[in-house]
């Protein structure tokens, strides 16, 4: 057999009409010669020069066909798909006969497995519908979708662009056979081909997928957001931001769950990721995240004041995403904790779980009488002692009122009307699904509980908290809603 260069030289002569090969037009003879004498080695060279191969056998090759059938034939031989769909414009029908002759007669493909469709090359929606229809035709219930590739080598440029958009929408891979172009003969030089498997544009650059993941993140569905960012971190060309956002979503999920063990791991992970991603984030965002990490470190170490702030911040988050029963529970814990911590701060060793009232006052009977009077003012006069064995939220408010503690005035709890209002809010929470009843917490009740929790937290902080504005601290701990 002649050498490959010698065969290429004859092919060029046949193509120019200086030699003959069989019957038909000059173009038909050149194509026939190429298929008979150059195709096999061209395929081998294309694979040798190319990059990645398809991850498994191709179930469906969708090939764009222009004025030369050789691009489709070459890609078909490289991939040997189970089925073939040829897309062509109305003025490229002659090429279809050559392609069909090759796949039917030479490769013995079934007629039902190789089809062609004429489409408008400038209409991406039509191309999308054709491809989607073909994919659906071979989709079986309970079976993974067929592995399909769109070959954009042939066809007009606008048709390739439209096909790329269809691949983008359907999450299909693209392939392309790159060749050295002969400007005189106006065709590819045989043997210069190399097969290229192209990533889907959405997985390669990922802007839209990143935006979709951010929208999920903003809704508070941090588990799902972490999953999406995790997928993007192994597929996009620049994965640093996706990796950071996955770490942040994992952190916020553990924070929402108050999973302190998982939170420790997540804090360490975000600290490491933050060092790698500072150039992707604004200085304001970096400062905010660093503050959150510092706060969460305090929370992990069992800081009771940090836990109070955490309850309030999480309550705000859940109210904003419309989960009012969770928000009510967290605002309740903020109010309860502020009152209990204030009581505990009045005497060393005093505990609301097992209260020794002698630590609060030498006149325990006088305190009992004062509490009885306060309870009577809100219609809850007890039959026995007004000093309970375990101090709950309302009991704590009553005892602090009886003691005329300054937190009462600062929190707006002074007087029977104010205490009655607090009692009403607590009752709404106690009747909720997450407490002892079956009534949903309304948006209005959630907002009222938030306002009361803010007052109590602010009053407690002014008397017992560290220096600094607690509301400013809470604002800095609000979950991020952006990725920059």
User: Between 357 and 23, whose confidence is greater?
Assistant: 357
What pLDDT is recorded for position 124? 78
DSSP 244: H
Average pLDDT of the residues in 362-369: 95
What pLDDT is recorded for position 173? 83
What pLDDT is recorded for position 19? 94
Tokens 């279809």 belong to residue: 96
pLDDT digits (tens, 9 = 90+) for 379-393: 988 878 999 999 999
Residue 392 phi, psi (nearest 5): -95, -170
Average pLDDT of the residues in 139-143: 77
Degrees, nearest 5: CA angle 13-16-19 = 45
Closest CA to 380 of 364, 398, 367: 398
109-123, 188-202, 233-247, 378-392: the lowest-pLDDT one: 188-202
Percent of the chain whose pLDDT exceeds 90: 56
β-pairing, 60-65 with 148-151? parallel
Degrees, nearest 5: CA angle 277-283-288 = 90
Give the tokens for residue 297: 């470190």
31 pLDDT tier (thresholds 50, 70, 90): confident
What pLDDT is recorded for position 160? 81
What pLDDT is recorded for position 204? 55
């Amino acid at each position: 057999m002649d050498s490959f260069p010698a065969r290429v030289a004859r092919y060029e002569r046949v193509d120019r009409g200086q030699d003959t090969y069989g019957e038909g037009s000059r173009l038909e003879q050149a194509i026939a010669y190429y298929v008979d004498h150059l195709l096999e080695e061209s395929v081998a060279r294309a694979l040798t020069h190319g990059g990645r191969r398809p991850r498994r056998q191709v179930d469906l090759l969708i090939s764009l066909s222009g004025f030369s059938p050789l691009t489709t034939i070459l890609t078909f031989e490289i991939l040997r798909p189970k089925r073939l769909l040829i897309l062509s414009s109305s003025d490229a029908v002659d090429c279809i006969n050559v392609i069909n002759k090759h796949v039917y007669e030479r490769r013995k493909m079934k007629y039902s497995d190789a089809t062609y469709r004429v489409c408008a090359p400038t209409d991406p929606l039509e191309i999308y519908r054709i491809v989607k229809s073909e994919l659906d035709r071979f989709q079986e219930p309970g079976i993974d979708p067929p592995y399909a590739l769109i070959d954009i080598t042939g066809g007009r440029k606008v048709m390739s662009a439209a096909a790329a958009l269809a691949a983008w929408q359907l999450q299909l891979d693209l392939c392309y056979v790159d060749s050295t172009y002969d400007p005189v003969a106006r065709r590819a030089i045989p043997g210069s081909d190399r097969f290229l498997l192209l990533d889907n544009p959405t997985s390669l650059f990922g802007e839209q997928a990143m935006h979709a993941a951010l929208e999920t993140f903003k809704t508070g569905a941090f588990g799902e957001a972490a999953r999406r960012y995790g997928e993007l971190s192994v597929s996009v060309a620049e994965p640093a931001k996706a990796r950071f956002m996955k770490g942040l979503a994992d952190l916020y999920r553990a924070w929402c769950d108050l999973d302190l063990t998982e939170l420790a791991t997540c804090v360490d992970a975000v600290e490491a990721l933050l060092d790698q991603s500072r150039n992707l984030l604004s200085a304001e965002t970096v400062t905010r995240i660093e503050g959150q990490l510092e706060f969460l470190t305090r929370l992990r170490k069992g800081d009771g004041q940090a836990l109070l702030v955490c309850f309030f911040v999480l309550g705000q988050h859940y109210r904003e995403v419309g989960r009012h029963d969770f928000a009510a529970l967290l605002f309740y814990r903020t109010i309860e904790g502020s009152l209990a911590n204030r009581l505990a701060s009045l005497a060393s060793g005093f505990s609301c779980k097992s209260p020794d009232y002698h630590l609060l006052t030498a006149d325990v009977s006088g305190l009992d009488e004062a509490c009885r009077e306060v309870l009577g003012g809100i219609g809850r006069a007890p039959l026995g002692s007004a000093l309970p064995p375990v101090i709950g939220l309302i009991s704590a408010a009553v005892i602090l009122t009886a003691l005329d503690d300054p937190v009462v005035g600062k929190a707006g709890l002074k007087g029977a009307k104010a205490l009655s209002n607090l009692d009403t809010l607590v009752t709404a929470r106690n009747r909720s699904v997450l407490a002892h009843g079956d009534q949903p917490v309304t948006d209005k009740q959630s907002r009222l509980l938030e306002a009361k929790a803010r007052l109590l937290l602010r009053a407690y902080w002014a008397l017992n908290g560290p220096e600094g504005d607690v509301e400013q601290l809470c604002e800095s701990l609000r979950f991020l809603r952006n990725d920059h």
